[in-house]
Amino acid sequence: MATINGNRKILDLKRWEFCSPAPATTAAGTSIISSRHHKQQQMYVVSATVAYLYNPNEDGYVQVPSAALAGTFAAGACGTATAIGPTGTATGGSTTTIQTNLTLARDLRGYAVNITSGPGAGETRVIASNTVGTNSTITVTVAFSSAITSSSVYRLITPRYYVLNAITASGTTTANVFKYYDYATNTWVAAETGATDGVAPAAVIGTDSKLIATPSWIGTDYATFATGTATGGSTNTIVNSAKAWATNQWTNYQVRISAGTGAGQIRTVASNTGTTITVSTNWTTTPDATSVYAIEGNDDFLYYIGSNAVTMYRYSISAGTWTTLSPGVARAAAPGTGMSGHWIYDVSDTTWTSEDAIINGRRIYSFRGGGGAVLDYYDIPSNAWTNAITYSPATETFTTGSKYNYTGDYIYIQKEATGRWFRYSLAENSMDGWNTMTYTQGAALLGDTAFDVTYKDGATEIVYIYMLLNTSTVLLRQMVI
């Protein structure tokens, strides 16, 4: 029987309800890293050595291995989750199996695998089962169009949780200050490679910080902003002569060829005209009029803002290095305590969804915090900040203890440790009171511990906002009506 949500505003008041308490009390720097991915596992980072996964399906926590992070766990520690897990070349397979050289540590049924080259290229399949241990074999629910061979290159669409620890003094060693936890293999890995292993984006990471991903996969499918069939291409372009895109609106997104000639290839967009996308690295196989493409968030990039500085950094997962960005319009002032940072990708308003002048996927919104009400956004394609967005009423201020969560059309905000919640509408540029959580909190803390979980049953989606209280183990949730 299909789920029907019959709740109505005014008729049904919002109610906070208790969930299982956290196994450790929130403190400065503790945060929740949200995986918008299949099981919606949330990582609760408690310290440099202790972290838990919270499974909302079961309302329970399990500790993961120690990250053994360097640095000093304190305000400024932050994290984000990405959608892509281990990659590799198959050692063999069939139309329904992939023989890997991975050591998978857990059952991954319900997650997905994508073939990026070789037989099966471009195809994405849900995992039906897998063996656990060395040289794991993955079985999929729907057969590939061709048998997987030792020429097939795959990537698992499974979560990785990136954690950047605080560095309280300039010049201190930063090796292993930045790591990711790989869900599929149950291991922590230094995020950077080679000579730059462990080098942080800034000499000091503190005050308050945000690490922001722009993943291509959200929930149980790709979150695409545009799809189509090309009319042609060249060594570094893909063309759709029927389009009328705004110049460079797709810069720094990624384009993935899902079928046809060149299937499986993924490239960062360097620029675009009304009909032509130019990619940053030449195609291995030039697309043509059979190539089906999808434009998505960029799986390779993480953005860092904070540490009481206007400087912004971008991390390339494939290169394992940080770049200091130099926006054409700089941020007017540094974000302070109680700041926010969210990539906005799913606003339903037609102004945001129009393919010829897309806004979804372009912007990172950031309340500056620091006891102010100022909101800025960073435009990813143009590499520029828009400062002090006009919204109404811009009277509520935010500082230490504030919590933020983005989902759909809104950013939800708790003001410090007051329990007062607000809802900022991205399409309307307006702030409304949302409700008040009346349970007593402890001292206000730096570290974002709010997240959302979505219940799905066919076309029905019911969203819950969760929060760990300041200086507390209490976890509460509330249905979005």
Q: Which CATH architecture has domain 17-83+159-218+300-479?
A: 6 Propeller (2.120)
Inter-residue contact 201 to 19 (CB < 8 Å): no
Alpha carbons 417 and 28: distance in angstroms, whole number: 13
Of 152, 157, 175, give the one whose Cα is nearest residue 71. 175
Looking at residue 195, what is its pLDDT?
Answer: 58
Q: Quick one: CA dihedral 188, 191, 195, 198, positive or negative?
A: negative
Residue at token pair 């945001």 = 352
Q: How far is CA 8 from CA 154, 279, 452, 481, in A?
A: 45, 47, 20, 7
Of 124, 462, 420, 465, give the one whose Cα is nearest residue 264. 124
**Omega before 56 cis (within 30°)?**
no
Give tens-digit pLDDT for 25-63: 999 999 999 999 989 999 999 999 999 999 999 999 999
User: With b meaning 16 or more CB within 10 Å and e meaning fewer, what string describes 163-184?
Assistant: bbbbbeeeeeebebbbbbbbbb
Of 437, 64, 43, give the one whose Cα is nearest residue 211. 43
| Sequence-ordered list of residues with C-beta below 8 angstroms from that of 380, at least 6 positions apart, any chain | 214, 251, 252, 253, 361, 362, 363, 364
Of 361, 323, 367, 368, give the one whose Cα is nearest residue 343. 361
Looking at residue 175, what is its pLDDT?
Answer: 82
Inter-residue contact 294 to 256 (CB < 8 Å): yes
Alpha carbons 324 and 78: distance in angstroms, whole number: 18
Of 182, 186, 187, give the one whose Cα is nearest residue 157. 182
Q: Which two tokens stand for residue 344?
A: 């906005």
Inter-residue contact 148 to 119 (CB < 8 Å): yes
Give tens-digit pLDDT for 210-257: 999 999 999 999 999 999 999 999 999 999 999 999 999 999 999 999
Q: Where do the structural domains in the chain lie, given as residue ranges?
A: 17-83+159-218+300-479, 87-157, 224-296
Task: Identify the DSSP state of 10.
Answer: T
Looking at residue 194, what is its pLDDT?
Answer: 61
Looking at residue 93, what is its pLDDT?
Answer: 98
Inter-residue contact 349 to 409 (CB < 8 Å): yes
The DSSP secondary structure of 75-117, one letter per residue, reads BTBEEEEES---EEE-SEE-SSEEE-S--B-S--TTSEEEEEE
Which residues of the chain are modeled with pLDDT < 70? 1, 171-173, 193-198
Alpha carbons 403 and 269: distance in angstroms, whole number: 33
User: Cβ of 237: how many Cβ atoms within 10 Å?
Assistant: 21
Task: Identify the DSSP state of 350.
Answer: H
Query: Residue 352: what are its φ and ψ, rounded to 5°?
Result: -85, -25
Alpha carbons 457 and 283: distance in angstroms, whole number: 40
Residue at token pair 């080679």 = 194
